[in-house]
Amino acid sequence: MRALPSRILLPLGLVAASVMTFGCGAGSNGTSGSSQNGNNPPSNVQTITVNGGPDSNFVDGAFTSVTVCVPGSTTSCQTISGILVDTGSSGLRILSSALTISLPQQNNSSGNPVAECAAFASGITWGPVQTADVKMAGEVASSMPIQVIGSSNFSNIPGTCTAQGVPMDDLANLGANGLLGVGQAVQDCGSACVPGGQQMYYACLSSVCADTPESLALQVQNPVASFATDNNGVIIELPAVSGGEASVSGSLIFGIGTQSNNGLGGATVFGTDPFGDFSTTYNTTAYISFLDSGSNGIYFLDSNTTGIPLCTQPSLNFLYCPASAKDISVVNNAFMGTNGASAPASFPVGNGLNLVSNPPNNNAINGLAGPFPGLIDFGLPFFFGRNVFTAFDGKSTPAGTGPYTAY
């Protein structure tokens, strides 16, 4: 799911279709044997599972668990499952309804509580900024700002926030207990929110919340970038999927080139801007593109450009429905950075209606795709069967300083 500060136009991320919530390929090019190590995985490996999510109602979402603690405490902690892994945004966001411990509230210099409005393609997340120690596998991000979504103490959402989308403030609307944003950006807003507000951070006095600037250190952070080690990027490893399966499991690996299990190997590195954009050529025309595990399909261009018809069912008209599956070939190109990498890629586009209906309990589906005029969002189906690397902005790696993506 791509968050609003990165650009004005957004891809589809989590969208409702009938009773399902919507938000493979070549073999491994990178790490080897890093996904599992019996019952004792390495300290930088977090299990992820593509399944129906905590509401049993999600398609092509990669979920994991996150432990949050009151800063400095080893006893006031909670492990929360059903957290959606999202390379299209940065920052940890947890539903208030899933959180049972009380975390310290962030206040501004005047002592007023700080809240955040984060806008995604499918809606907004609104809630206070609080502080937690965040633990995954054997890694810890200490005293890190996170967003708590849908807190009853912050029920009056500013109009400038609701104007950006429908609130995703509960499990039914979000489809997950939270979002784990591990995109290229280290903060979720960056310098745009430092000199003045961008209708993203708010200082709240009683029930009135006003747009406010937020320093980089106090913004909601990419939690992996705040680890003491293995903090320069992540790898998502998922098995290949042919058609659909009820669920598949893989790994979220922390660090790039920091341990024996997270080397780049033969992966091709594509330099990006700080939000993960690179360039993709389709039929001789170049388009802005990005890899986004939080999108549940590959959303690209439009029917006039691709020649692929949309599904005629009103609840599925955001998906392509070709009469027979098509294999789409593109060339991905470095957009920014030190290299000029270019490499072909391909992905299937199936009939969306058939894919989500036969059988109806499949949650890991390869071939889901839909329109996104002028842009290409390589969502979770592109991750199936690939090791996908996300290098963070300004962080050093064996392939140079991020940001970049690689596979």
pLDDT in tens, 260-294: 999 999 999 999 998 899 999 999 999 999 999 99
Segments making up each domain of the chain, as ranges: 4-31+39-226, 260-406
Can you give the pLDDT at residue 358? Answer: 83
| Token pair of 396 as six digits | 């050093």
* Same CATH fold assignment for domains 4-31+39-226 and 260-406: yes
Q: What gap in Å lies between CA 274 and CA 279, rounded to an integer?
A: 14
How many angstroms separate the CA atoms of 91 and 86, rounded?
Answer: 9
* For residue 239, cis peptide bond before it (omega within 30 degrees of 0): no
Q: Which residues contact 288 (CB under 8 A, 6 or more apart)?
A: 277, 278, 279, 280, 335, 374, 375, 376
What CA–CA distances, in Å, run from 188 to 118, 181, 204, 223? 9, 9, 20, 11
Which CATH code of 3.40.50, 2.40.70, 2.60.120, 3.30.1360 fits the domain covering 4-31+39-226? 2.40.70
CB-based contact 316:352 (threshold 8 Å): yes
Whether 146 and 92 have beta carbons less than 8 Å apart is answered as yes
DSSP element (H, E) containing 199: none
Distance of CA 38 to the CA centre of its chain: 28
Please, what sign has the CA dihedral across residues 92, 223, 67, 254? positive
DSSP state of 172: H
User: Among 2-11, 141-150, 335-344, whose mean pLDDT is lowest?
Assistant: 2-11
pLDDT of residue 290: 96
- pLDDT of amino acid 349: 98
Residues 6+ apart with CB under 8 A from 377: 2, 11, 12, 88, 289, 290, 292, 295, 298, 299, 300
224-238 pLDDT tens trace? 999 999 999 999 999
User: Does residue 39 register a pLDDT over 70?
Assistant: no
Q: What is the pLDDT of residue 212?
A: 93
User: What is residue 256's predicted lDDT score, i.e. its pLDDT?
Assistant: 98
Confidence category of residue 42, pLDDT binned at 50, 70, 90: confident
The yes-or-no verdict on residue 245 having pLDDT over 70 is yes
- The single residue listed with the structure tokens 């961008």 is 198
The Cα angle at residue 296 between residues 292 and 300, in degrees rounded to 5: 70
- When pLDDT is averaged across residues 348-353 and rounded to a whole number, the result is 96
Q: Contact, 154 vs 204, CB < 8 A?
A: yes
pLDDT at 401 over 70: yes
pLDDT digit string, tens, across residues 354-377: 999 888 889 999 999 999 999 999
Say whether the peptide bond before residue 403 is cis (omega within 30 degrees of 0): yes
Query: In the 8-state DSSP scheme, what is residue 165?
Result: -
Q: Tell which CATH architecture fits domain 260-406.
A: Beta Barrel (2.40)
* Structure tokens belonging to residue 33: 């044997």
Q: Would you call 201 helix, strand, or coil by DSSP?
A: strand
User: Is-contact 363 233, C-beta < 8 A?
Assistant: no
Based on the number of CB atoms within 10 Å of its own CB, is 283 exposed (0-12), middle (13-18) or buried (19 or more)? exposed
Mean pLDDT computed over 238-248:
95
* pLDDT at site 15: 35
- What's the average model confidence in pLDDT over 5-14? 32
